[in-house]
Amino acid sequence: MADGTVSDHKPGEIRRTFSTLSTGQDQNGVVQPLLTDLYQITMAYAHWKSEKRTDHAVFDLYFRKNPFRGEFTIFAGLHECLKFFNNYTFSKSDIDYLRTILPPSTEEGFFQYLSDMDLSQVTMYAIPEGSVVFPKVPLLRVEGPLPIVQLLETTLLTLVNYASLVATNAARFRMAAGPGKSLLEFGLRRAQGPDGGLSASKYCYIGGFDGTSNVLAGKLFNIPVKGTHAHAFVTSFTSLDDLKNRMLQPADQSKSLQNLVEMSQTWLDRIEGLLEILKEETHKGELASFISYAMAFPTGFLALVDTYDVLRSGIPNFVAVALSLHDLGYKSIGIRLDSGDLAYLSLRAREIFTKIADKYNLPWFAKLNIVASNDINEETIHSLNQQGHSIDTYGIGTHLVTCQRQPALGCVFKLVEVDGVARMKLSQDMEKMTLPGKKNVFRLYGHDGHALVDLMMQEKEEAPSPGQRVLCRHPFEESKRAYVIPASVEPLLKKYWFEGKICQPVQSLHDIKSRMESSLRSLRADHKRALNPTPYKVSVTAGLYQFMHDLWLHNAPIGELS
């Protein structure tokens, strides 16, 4: 309850591991082989007809540009990809449907091929979920029979793209707010439908949020859920006459019931001078709603104070009820501001709470939680920090879950090798070139533990060693190269799927969140700053550079300059 809202999920009471979610109540019932683009199926048929079904293909899943004008990305969605692999089967009803959309000439053998398909011949390497990742580096490397691996493209992209985007956005909000603040995700109502909301809750938690308002996300993923009340709750009361129950049991159960309405009115009398208001000014429907809420949640009282007038009505009403609760042995939590000038109002609120704390010798009153939640984006938080404010907790919805600043991450899934022969798609745009062939990736760290550079190489090349000098080249620009002597070396790609099974220990959401935190810590501050961050270097070995550029020349059509 430290965040000032009614409820924490009590860890341990419902033990639901992340991995057991693939059965039973699960948001991702729709993740199945048909959740794909039709062209994946038509390509599979053409490959099948061309007898390419045993060609051994290697695909890389990567993105070309970090989102949000930043210089890092948090990789998320891997666990969902593994669940998708684990459950990969075309049902009879899928096959029946495909018969209706493919041409009548489609051969029966192809439908049988799909019916029999499984991923036992597919191998997937991945960077661990929650890692900080960079452009061009494969997040997933998927190998296996060409038509089968091609079929996986769209679903893998849909599972990785939004997950990584929103986790990155959450991490940026966390960095803006600083480690001392609470961050709550309130985005369900503005997400891309029900599952968009659930995905947002899960991946924002990974990215550094403390909880969500989404109850189902709490239930499914064991994430803390938080919440208080809305304006409608306040306006549902018009006067103190609306209160039928007025008696509250003090915290000390041996004491007798007390009339919370009378106590609150008395306190309003006592504080009107101190708060420089007239007690008649405070809205009595609002006071009634606060009392009603306090009766229901005496240990979790947090009031939304901006329905009428924050300083003349909301805060005085809150203070009166909170002091009454204190007389009965209960500590209140705080207030929520959902409109107006959040910097000014939070400072004024803190001033009032401090006055009360001093006057009545209640030091905890000065530390009441102030929650702010009005259409907040990353820039709002930076601006609040500059102005000075007294907000403890941010509730963030729209801008977080829709990633308003950049609502899509452009991961792609590119064929890089068939039967041991490297492939690449040429492009006029150098940034769009594929890095061909099966590659390994290493992260090189300096003596201070910070990541220096990511280094891609051909699979046959020897891994870099700590203390050994290694040449790191820019993949496309000939003049950019540097020798690096790493203090330590981390192989980024690990084998996650092999012979039809997940072959790494399943990570809980909390494990992934921890990895995100440690991985982000290993990144130098200048790569992470909000304004003009320094790009992190992604490089290739001299061997891979030469190989790529030879292949590029070999593949380019012979033309004339025009």
- Amino acid identity at 14: I
Q: How far is the CB of 173 from a second copy (least distance, A)?
A: 16
Q: What is the dihedral of CA 447, 450, 433, 159, to 10 degrees?
A: 140
Q: How far is the CB of 154 from a second copy (least distance, A)?
A: 5
- Of the pair 361, 428, the CB lying nearest a second copy is at 428
- Of the pair 152, 451, the CB lying nearest a second copy is at 152
Residues 6+ apart with CB under 8 A from 405: 67, 68, 69, 169, 377, 378, 399
Phi/psi at 484 (5° precision): -130, 140
Closest by alpha carbon to 144, among 414, 417, 460, 441? 417
Phi/psi at 177 (5° precision): -75, -30
Q: How far is the CB of 345 from a second copy (least distance, A)?
A: 12
Q: How far is the CB of 519 from a second copy (least distance, A)?
A: 22
- Of the pair 52, 438, the CB lying nearest a second copy is at 52
Q: How far is the CB of 158 from a second copy (least distance, A)?
A: 5
Alpha carbons within 13 angstroms on the beta-carbon side of residue 176 total 27
- Of the pair 208, 300, the CB lying nearest a second copy is at 300
- The dihedral of CA 298, 304, 306, 307: what is its sign? negative
The per-residue DSSP string of 141-206 comes to EEEEEHHHHHHTHHHHHHHHHHHHHHHHHHHHHHHHH-TTSEEEE--GGGSSHHHHHHHHHHHHHH
Q: How far is the CB of 361 from a second copy (least distance, A)?
A: 28
- Of the pair 177, 261, the CB lying nearest a second copy is at 261
- Of the pair 330, 536, the CB lying nearest a second copy is at 330
Q: How far is CA 292 from CA 6, 94, 234, 269, in A?
A: 14, 53, 10, 20
Helix (H, G, I), strand (E, B) or coil at 426: coil
Helix (H, G, I), strand (E, B) or coil at 386: helix
Q: How far is the CB of 240 from a second copy (least distance, A)?
A: 12
* Tokens found for residue 16: 């639901």
Gyration radius (Cα) of the chain, Å: 29
Q: How far is the CB of 282 from a second copy (least distance, A)?
A: 8
* Tokens found for residue 548: 């790529």
Q: How far is the CB of 231 from a second copy (least distance, A)?
A: 5
Q: Is-contact 85 497, C-beta < 8 A?
A: yes
CA–CA dist 125, 129 (Å, integer): 12
Q: Is-contact 282 269, C-beta < 8 A?
A: no
Q: How far is the CB of 308 from a second copy (least distance, A)?
A: 6
- Of the pair 66, 199, the CB lying nearest a second copy is at 199
* Tokens found for residue 194: 């029900």
- Of the pair 105, 479, the CB lying nearest a second copy is at 105
- Of the pair 248, 381, the CB lying nearest a second copy is at 248
Q: How far is the CB of 64 from a second copy (least distance, A)?
A: 12
* Tokens found for residue 442: 């290493």
- Of the pair 181, 219, the CB lying nearest a second copy is at 219
Residues 6+ apart with CB under 8 A from 215: 225
- Of the pair 32, 385, the CB lying nearest a second copy is at 32
